[in-house]
Structure 1
Amino acid sequence: MVRKYIKKTNGPAYTIENLDRAVSDVVNKNRTYRQAHETYNIPISVIFHRIKGRNIPLNKMGARRSQALSTEVEEQIVKCLIARSRMGYPCDKNELFQLVADYVLVNNIKTPFKDNKPGPYWYYLFINRHPQLSFKKPEHLQKLRKTARDPEVVYDFYEKLKTLMETSNLTDPEKNCFIFNADETGFCTDPSRLRAIGEKGKSLSRISGGSGREFISVLACVSADGFCLPPLIVFKGAAVQAPWTSDKSYPGTLYAASKNGWMEEPQFFTWFCTSFIPHVKKLRESKGLTNQTAVLLYDGHCSHISVRIVENALMENVKLVKFPSHLTDQIQPLDKYVFGPVKNKWDKLLVEYGKTQMGLSSGRITKAQFSELLKNVWMSGIIPANIISGFVSTGLCPVNATKFPEDEFDPALLRKYRKQK
C-alpha cells in the first residue's frame, strides 16, 4: 500500500524580513530576546541561533536565502580587509558596513540593503563564509604613547619596510623610481595670514579685504630617484569650474573639488587611477620590468584606504604602506625636505603678489590664478636633490632605522626596548 504523506504545517509563521529585524534589534540592544520574541512572534532559539550563524532557516521554496553580494565581490572585499589589516588599519563592524556601502554605490550594485548599507545579519553570514577572517581586538601599538616616540613602533615599521623592499626586489638603487611618497598640504591664498615682523607686545595686521577660504589643498607625489609627479589641486566647491584651470599651469596638473576643499576618497582615488598608476605602468614599460612591484608610502588618512583603492592597488601590483601615527614629521620625505622649500617660495610669491594689488583688490589669490602661480614654485621649489635626500635622511631608501634620531624617543621607553632586545 502506497503511503501518502500529508504536510501538517505551512512552515514558520514569521518572515525572513522580520527575523532580520529581530536579530538587528537584539544585536543593537534595542530589545531583549524575549521582547523580540513577543514583538515578531519568533522563537527565542531561532533568534539566538541566527545571531550565532547557525541553523539558517529555509524560505518557503526550500532554498537558502541568496547572498546579497556575489562571491566575486565578497572575495574582493576580503582581500581589501586583509590588506588593510596588514597596513595597520583594520576595520571594525561599522567601518566594514560603510566600506561595503561605498563599494556598492560606486560600482552601482543592486542589493537588498537599506541605504546600500548591510546589517548585522549580513555581517555574521559574511564572517562565516570567510573563515580566514576573524573579529578580534587589535594591538594598539601606535597608541602606546601620544606625546613620546616609542622605539617599538618605529623600529617595527622599519623592519617590516625592509622585508617588503627585499621581497619586492627593490633593494637595487636603479629601482628607486618605484618607491613613492604621497601627501597633501595646504597653500595659503591670503597674504594677511602670513607671518611678518612687528612691534613686540603690539598686535600685527596686514591690509586685506573680504573674507573666504584661506587655503587650497594640493597633493604631491615624489619617488626616491628625485622625480615629482604633477600636482593635484583640490578646490572647495561642488565641481571644478573651467575658469579655475589654466593652460599655463604645471604640465599634467590635475584638478578636483570637494565640499570642504580637503582631500577626500573620490579625489584621491581619481588621482591614483589617472595619474599614479599610468606613471608606474610607463616606468615598467620603459625599463622592461613588467612585473616590478611599486611601493607607495603615505599617512593613514581614511581617504587613502577605501575598498576600491586597495582593490586597485592589489590588481596593479602596488604595495600601500602606512606611516605610523604622529611620526610623519620625522619619517616622511615630503614633510622633511620638500614642502618646506616650496612653502617658503610660495609665501614670498604671495606677499609680492599682494603688494602689486594694493589699492586694486584684496590681494588674495583667486582660484583662477592659483594654478598658474603654483607652477612657479612647483618648478623651482621641488628640487630632485632634496627629494633624494628626503628618502635617504629618513631611512626609507635605502632602509636604515638608525636614521631616526634617538633623541626623539622617550628615554625610559628606549632603555626598555634595548633590554628586551
Structure 2
Amino acid sequence: MCQKYPSVKWIDRFVQRHPEVALHHPSGIDPKRAQGFNYTIVKKHFEDLESLLKQHDILWENIKGGSLDLVTVIESVCADGTSLHPGFIFAGGVIDRESTEVDPDIVLATSENGWTSDYLCSEWFKQSFIPQVATRNQSGRPIVLIYDGHGSHVTSEMIETAIAHNILLFALPPHTTHRLQPLDVGIFGPMQKAWSKQCEEYSLRTGEGMQRCDVVEEYMKAWEKAFRESTILQAW
C-alpha cells in the first residue's frame, strides 16, 4: 500500500507492540469430523433413511432438507434521516407471492445464487432509486449518491443513467467502508441486532426458522425498529 515491503523482523516487532494479537497455526478439519465421515457410517445412514421411508410409506414430496437461502438486500438511506424502499434479490427463479404483497414499491428480483450483478444493480437504480428520489427532490438540485466501490456500482450504464437524471455518483475510497460508509457505521449495526431479534420472535411465533416467503415482511418490521433506534439520525 505504501510502496514499501516489511523486513523479516517486522512481524516480530508488530506482535511485540500489539500483545492482543495472537499467532496460531491454521487447523485442518476437526479430527472428530474426519473420523465420523467414513464409508461405514455413511452407508448405514442411507440404509436407515431408506428403511424409515419404506416403513412409513413416505412420498418424495414429504422429504425436506434444511438449507440456507441467500437473500441480498439493497439499501439506500437519505442524509436527512429518511429511508428509501429497499430492493430484495432471491436465489433461484421464483419470487413467492407473499413477498410481492408486502409493499408494491419494493423492487424484487432473482439471480442464480441470490447475489447482485451489474444488471440487477442497474435495474434497481432505474426502477427503485431514481423514482423515489425524484419524488422527494423538492429543490430540483442534483442528487448525490454515496456508494462503495463494488464493481457493479461503476458500470458505464450506471454512470450514463445517473448523468441523464442529474445524479452525482460519489465513491468512497477503497478499503475505508468500515469507517466511512454511513450505513455500515450508523445503520447496519442496529439493523443486524433488530433482524436477529425479529428472527427469534418469528421462531417463537411459528415454531420454525425464517421462511423465504416471509423474509420481506419480517425484514421490513425489523428495519422500522432499527431505523427508529439508529444513532445515525442523531448524528445527521
The alignment's TM-score, normalised by the length of structure 2, stands at 0.67
Which segments of 5 or more consecutive residues in structure 2 lack a partner in the other structure? 4-63
2:231 alignment partner AA: N
Structure 1 match to 2:14? none
Structure 1 residues 250, 374: closer, same or farther in 2, change over 3 A? farther
2:233 alignment partner AA: I
Which segments of 5 or more consecutive residues in structure 1 lack a partner in the other structure? 1-142, 146-208, 393-421
- The root-mean-square deviation of aligned C-alpha atoms, in Å, is 2.3
Structure 1 match to 2:168? 319
Structure 2 match to 1:368? 213
Structure 2 match to 1:219? 74
Q: How does 1:7-406 map to 2 (within 5 A)?
A: 143-144=1-2, 210-238=65-93, 240-243=94-97, 245-247=99-101, 249-250=102-103, 252-284=105-137, 287=138, 289-290=139-140, 292-358=141-207, 363-383=208-228, 386-389=231-234, 392=236
1:219 alignment partner AA: I
2:134 alignment partner AA: K
Between the aligned residues of both structures, percent identity stands at: 30
Match of 2:75, SS state, is strand
Structure 1 residues 378, 251: closer, same or farther in 2, change over 3 A? farther
1:280 is displaced (CA, Å) by: 2.6
Matched residue count: 176
Structure 2 match to 1:39? none
1:279 is displaced (CA, Å) by: 2.2
Aligned 8 A contact 2:87 2:128 in 1 = no
Aligned 8 A contact 2:72 2:88 in 1 = yes
Q: Which has the higher contact order (CA 8 A, sep 6+)?
A: 1
Match of 1:221, SS state, is coil
Aligned 8 A contact 1:226 1:383 in 2 = no
Structure 1 residues 351, 280: closer, same or farther in 2, change over 3 A? closer
Aligned 8 A contact 1:232 1:255 in 2 = yes
Aligned 8 A contact 1:250 1:378 in 2 = no
Provide the rounded CA distance (Å) in 2 between the counterparts of 1:373 and 1:319. 33
1:310 is displaced (CA, Å) by: 0.7
**Who wins on radius of gyration, i.e. which is larger?**
1
Aligned 8 A contact 1:328 1:335 in 2 = yes
Provide the rounded CA distance (Å) in 1 between the counterparts of 2:113 and 2:74. 15
1:353 alignment partner AA: Y
1:252 is displaced (CA, Å) by: 2.1
2:130 alignment partner AA: I
The list of structure 1 runs, each at least 4 consecutive aligned residues, that deviate by more than 3 angstroms after superposition, is 355-358, 384-390
